[in-house]
Chain A
Amino acid sequence: MQKVFNNKMAIFLFVFPGILLFALTFLVPIVLSAYYSFRDTLSPGTPSAFIGFANYTQLLLHDSRFWLALRNAVLLGLGFILIQHPIAIFFAIMLDRLGGKAEKWFRTIFFIPCVISVVVISKMWLSLLDPTFGAFNKMLDSLGLGMLKHAWLGDSSTALISMLFILIWAGFGWGLLFYYAGLKGIPDDLYEAASLDGASGFRLHWRITVPLLSPVITVQITLAMITALKQMETVFLTTNGGPGDSTQFLAVYLYNKAFSASQYGYANAISILFIIVCLLATYISNKLTRSDATEF
């Protein structure tokens, strides 16, 4: 047995292709990105001069957009955690109570938005929230709330919250599914024991379900923060960061710097900081959440 597991040739064949691919598409690019981040490159491959940390000092000390993008990611992440996740947990619990065929059917329906292309989702919501023919404003009209009519994505005071709304709609199914799966792993006899002790309804779930779901919740919170940081496609295809940077995110910013503003070196500096921020966020949330995971 040991001989089989120590087979050096097999290990090489199993690991080398994956590591090579990973090195070529992740590690080498990051090194290259770091190289470009110290130069004043305008577009890839053009001659450039070494400028030291100039891009980084500009970004960290003088670029308010960079900090706005980070702030937006934090706000979006908080939006996910405080709005989307409680709703998802609530629905997972209700769904679990429903049982039978209906449980399966509703679970299937709620997930449908998750399989639809981000291009379709973005263009669809752009139309839904359109100030002239969008269904959202028409609905407000028919409810007699016409005074609330609004260019939802076009106004800097409502753009970010509208974005959160779109992303919650699109991602709700995944959250629901994860919590639902977590619930299925909680043994039924715990509920029986608790109801014998007189707990019921809301108290039952607050005392039993939520603590026992905490491993799933902590993982989901980490994922929510990372999802918020990585936000790009929906923003890129709807508001492109605007109006006035109200929906600016790091990925959108670096993309536009590289391909529209011809500041390739600067964009690469954003890339490097972006990677550092993502790794830090993962590290911090791992540290914060690992200690209090409940075993059952």
Chain B
Amino acid sequence: MTKSTKTILWVFFLIVALVQLFPLIWLIDFSFLSSNEFYSSSVLKWPSDPQWQNYINAWVDGKFLRYFINSTFVTSVTILLTVILSLTLGYAFTRMQWKLRPIFFTIILLGIMIPIHATLLPNFAIFKALGLTNSYLGLILPYTAVSVPLGTFILTGFMRSIPKAMEESAVVDGANIYRIVFQIIAPLTAPALVTVIVTTFLNCWNEFIMASTFLSKDALKTLPFSVMNFAGQYSSDYGSQFAVMVLTSIPAIVIYAIFNEQITKGVTAGAVKG
């Protein structure tokens, strides 16, 4: 490719990237404005007097810290459980020999196709009867159940490409099945595990509909509710609403910035192996 084509391509991408990010730039820009400045005719507006108060409102009235801690706890436990269950299920489906294997594998994969929204209503009834609504477990259980099928699918694909010789030599050295799975297979599947972790993180961290159905107790709510807190009484205070949206987005963007390379690698590995 010639240098000039490359430059044109570069400029083209730069423009598209700006267009793509425009909504977010606008969000950040307007989070520094006072509400009466919203109605001016300009599309973007340099804040003459940046309203830091908006961010204080967002932090305090959005109950940011409380919800952030809840999100972190629920997401971490979900990720841990998802990794362990997907790893053991994946291993049992690719290497272990047992009769019911194809049936159980199909059942687990059905989980990818069944919409969670369809299980929302009965789960609400069950969780209510079991006293699981308004508990961390009431989110962790369905989040894990939703994440495990995809995790198992990604890991089985990856494990099939690992040569059995690894396990054979471990058996010769006297390792038992549990050591093989957790000390030999787990590190070997690390790239796929990172993909599982990141997709689980993104799904659970931003999940809203199950959380809003199963939780009513304020002390347990997760990060998306920070934004929802501004829907009622603050609905005309746009500046604070925008500030809370910016704050809510920051953790996921930071995590993404750190794991960006692994996401691409994971997807690439998945796409090529199909």
- Quick check: A28 and B126 within 8 Å, CB to CB? yes
| Residues of B within 8 A of A (CB-CB), count | 99
B95 to chain A, nearest CB (A): 6
| Residues of A within 8 A of B (CB-CB), count | 97
Question: Given A30-B119, A169-B20, A236-B209, are A45 and B167 also a contact pair (CB < 8 Å)?
Answer: no
- Residues 33-54 of A, flagged 1 when their CB comes within 8 A of B and 0 if not, give 1001000000011000000000
With a cutoff of 8 Å between Cβ atoms, the chain A residues found around residue B249 in the complex are 116-117, 120
- Quick check: B9 and A94 within 8 Å, CB to CB? yes
- Quick check: B271 and A275 within 8 Å, CB to CB? no
With a cutoff of 8 Å between Cβ atoms, the chain A residues found around residue B27 in the complex are 124
Counting chain A CB atoms within 10 Å of each CB, the highest count among B13, B21, B181 belongs to B13
Contact of A282 among B104, B113, B149, B209 (CB under 8 A): B113
Contact of B122 among A111, A118, A268 (CB under 8 A): A268
- Quick check: A32 and B21 within 8 Å, CB to CB? no
Complex: A135 Cα to B38 Cα, angstroms: 10
Interface stretch of the complex, out of A137-145, A154-162, A203-211: A137-145
Interface stretch of the complex, out of A16-24, A57-65, A188-196: A16-24
In the complex, whether B160 has a CB less than 8 A from a CB of chain A is no
- Quick check: A124 and B145 within 8 Å, CB to CB? no
- Residues 111-147 of B, flagged 1 when their CB comes within 8 A of A and 0 if not, give 1011101111111111011000000000001101110
- Quick check: B118 and A138 within 8 Å, CB to CB? no
With a cutoff of 8 Å between Cβ atoms, the chain A residues found around residue B16 in the complex are 91
In the complex, whether B69 has a CB less than 8 A from a CB of chain A is no
Which residues in B have some Cβ–Cβ distance to A below 8 Å?
A: 1, 6, 9-10, 12-13, 16-17, 20-24, 26-27, 30, 38-39, 41-44, 85-86, 88-89, 91-92, 95-98, 104, 107-108, 110-111, 113-115, 117-126, 128-129, 141-142, 144-146, 148-149, 152, 164, 167-168, 171, 176-178, 180-181, 202, 205-206, 208-209, 213, 223-224, 227-228, 238, 241-242, 245, 248-249, 252-253, 255-257, 260, 263-264, 267-268, 270-272, 274
